[in-house]
């Protein structure tokens, strides 16, 4: 009898934890009627999916809209269209490169893979960035003003307040890599 009561208690507690987790997750995203962007009187509101319904099943993140989009893509939770036109070739790159000025901030490792899984190269090259090594001058001022990386970061990608997402390579690590030593 005691074993049955313990199992029942575990089931009830487990169910309560799931309900609490779902409620906490739902509270991350404002309802469209309450977000200050959508008109709650619009007849379109009945057609739109609520953010909590759409985003809660996806892997969590600590920034922006609280979704780790790269993990969602890698796990198969989402499968965005690669191109607008079926006939357009899909180009991806797996390499990365370092951006540094040996300042007080850690260097930036730019991963092509995460970017080309979402975007064709033409979205950034040649308008935002030249395809030639050393041809680009990066500026945090420009990025913060919505240019260069700031075209997406701060708008549709994780926000610019997450400095360590980009500035992730210490100067010591950078020097080791430049000398050809392992990470």
The 10s digit of each residue's pLDDT in 101-154 is: 767 889 999 999 989 888 888 889 999 999 998 899 999 999 999 999 999 987
Q: Which residue has the higher pLDDT, 61 or 20?
A: 61
pLDDT of the residue at 135: 94
Q: Give the tens place of pLDDT for each residue, 9-42.
A: 444 444 444 334 444 444 688 999 999 989 999 9
Q: Which two tokens stand for residue 8?
A: 């029942």
Quick check: 3 pLDDT over 60? no
Instruction: Place 182 in a pLDDT band, splitting at 50, 70 and 90.
Output: low
Instruction: Say if CB 17 and CB 27 are below 8 A apart.
Output: no
Q: Can you tell me whether residue 107 is helix, strand or coil?
A: strand
CATH architecture, domain defined by 59-183:
Alpha-Beta Complex (3.90)
Tell me which long-range contacts 135-140 makes (C-beta under 8 A, separation of at least 24): 138/99, 138/108
Q: What are phi and psi of 99, to 5 degrees?
A: -125, 120
Q: Give the tens place of pLDDT for each residue, 67-110.
A: 998 899 999 999 887 677 777 777 889 999 988 876 788 999 99
pLDDT of the residue at 50: 93
pTM of the model: 0.68
Tell me which long-range contacts 131-138 makes (C-beta under 8 A, separation of at least 24): 138/99, 138/108
| 96-99 sheet: strands from edge to edge | 96-99, 107-111, 167-169
Mean pLDDT of 48-66: 91
């Amino acid at each position: 009898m005691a074993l049955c009561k313990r199992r029942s208690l575990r089931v009830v507690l487990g169910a309560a934890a799931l309900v609490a987790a779902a409620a906490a997750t739902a509270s991350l995203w404002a309802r469209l009627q309450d977000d200050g962007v959508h008109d709650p009187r619009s007849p379109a509101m009945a057609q739109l999916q609520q953010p909590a319904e759409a985003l809660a099943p996806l892997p969590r993140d600590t920034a922006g809209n609280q979704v780790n989009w790269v993990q969602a893509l890698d796990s198969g939770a989402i499968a965005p269209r690669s191109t607008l036109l079926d006939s357009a070739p899909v180009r991806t790159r797996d390499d990365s490169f370092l951006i540094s000025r040996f300042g007080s901030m850690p260097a930036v490792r730019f991963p092509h893979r995460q970017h080309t899984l979402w975007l064709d190269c033409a979205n950034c090259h040649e308008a935002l960035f030249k395809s030639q090594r050393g041809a680009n001058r990066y500026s945090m001022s420009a990025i913060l003003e919505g240019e260069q990386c700031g075209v997406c970061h701060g708008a549709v990608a994780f926000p610019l307040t997450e400095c360590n997402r980009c500035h992730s390579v210490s100067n010591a690590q950078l020097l080791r890599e430049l000398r050809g030593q392992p990470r």
